[in-house]
Amino acid sequence: MKNTGFQLERHSANPILGPHSMPGADAVFNCGQTMYKGKTILLVAVVLRNDPLPRMHVAESADGVNFTIRPEPFITRSELPHIRPLDQWPIDPRVTYFAEEDVYYIMRPGNSDVGCVAFLGKTKDWQHYEDIEVISLPSNRVPCLFPEKVNGKYIRLDRPFSLVYDPHNHSQMSGIWLSESPDLIHWGRHRVVLKPWTTWNYTKIGPTPPIKTEQGWLEIIHGVSQSCSGQRYCIGAILLDLNDPSKVIGNSQGYLMCPTAGYEFMGRVPNVVFPCGAIADYDQDRLRIYYGAADTCIGLATGRLSEIVDLCLRNGK
């Protein structure tokens, strides 16, 4: 395997959000991320000390570092009768701005006692949220939407819990799949994109909403491995073909970041850096990743967009 010394750079103000940012919070963590009217918007998962159900709040920032969390939740357990029974642990939102429709789609896992499904919702203005549909059977986690149609179809990535037995290392693993839809509700033509391939991710990998670049769709992923002290979550990247995004054309091979900071080790779930998306500042050739750390707080990590794409292309499939 090709080695890489590349590492994302942690912001000196990390953790930029956490339980300290909101009265009564036990955790402010994994967040969807996007730009709205020049501001950075994070849709953060919040666990309160005295409420058994997480909720999602909007956090806004003019400089991308100092955030204000709105006190009222933006997404709570759905009221819709076809969604509510499946919506027992609302976390991990993945936000996609769909320019053609000027709408922000939010995909999230619906955790429930009959399994984990995928939900679709949307907002136009970050004031009103609308749940739309249940868009997968269980077990399916980590659903996320492409920011534009490809060959006339909506495209999504996700991770079905297809616990495939790997005869080579006697383990089970789950990988990334792609599907397409004419209307965002009905999904089909499922394709395997990638299965776990190496030490830092051999248990499972999961996608985030892709970032368009000239060379391909940049996909920031998480990867999970297992040791005698539990699971470790790292961050990596792959590059997908622009016209056939089921085809992997680049791979960072090594991780871009693994837990090394104190706030990534110490918390509710130690040893976790977890991305739900990334923001490309094309004019500055910069990628910003707001990642959940130890399921407790949020860190900001950055890297040069072109360097990450080059790394994927250089290190290959």
Q: Applying CB under 6 A, which residues contact ligand BMA?
A: 30, 91-92, 233, 269, 272, 274, 292, 295
Let me know: does 298 contact 44? Beta carbons within 8 Å: yes
Nearer to ligand BMA, 6 or 200 (CB): 200
Minimum CB separation from ligand BMA for residue 31, in Å? 11
Q: State the Cα–Cα distance between residues 108 and 96, nearest whole angstrom.
A: 11
Give yes or no for a cis peptide into 139 (omega within 30° of 0). yes
User: Which of residues 196 and 245 has its CB atom nearest to ligand BMA in the complex?
Assistant: 196
CB of 250 to ligand BMA, least distance (A): 25
Which of 104, 304, 290 lies closest to 213 in space, CA to CA? 304
Specify the residue, 272 or 311, whose C-beta has the smaller distance to ligand BMA: 272
**Of 104 and 233, CB closest to ligand BMA:** 233
- At residue 85, the 3 state secondary structure works out as helix
Measured CA to CA, the distance from residue 313 to residue 31 in angstroms comes to: 28
Contact present, 151 and 243 (Cβ < 8 Å): yes
**What burial letters (b/e) apply to 89-103, b meaning 16+ CB within 10 Å?**
bbbbbbbbbbeeeee
Q: Shortest gap between Cβ of 274 and ligand BMA (angstroms)?
A: 4
Judged by beta carbon, residue 119 or residue 233, the one nearer ligand BMA is: 233
Q: How far is the CB of 284 from ligand BMA (least distance, A)?
A: 28
Minimal distance, residue 91 CB to ligand BMA, in Å: 5
CB of 64 to ligand BMA, least distance (A): 22
Residue with tokens 């110490």: 266
Name the residue nearer to ligand BMA (CB basis): 147 or 270: 270
Would you call 309 helix, strand, or coil by DSSP? helix
Quick check: 202 and 169 in contact, CB under 8 A? Answer: yes
Closest CA to 141 of 30, 55, 53, 43: 30
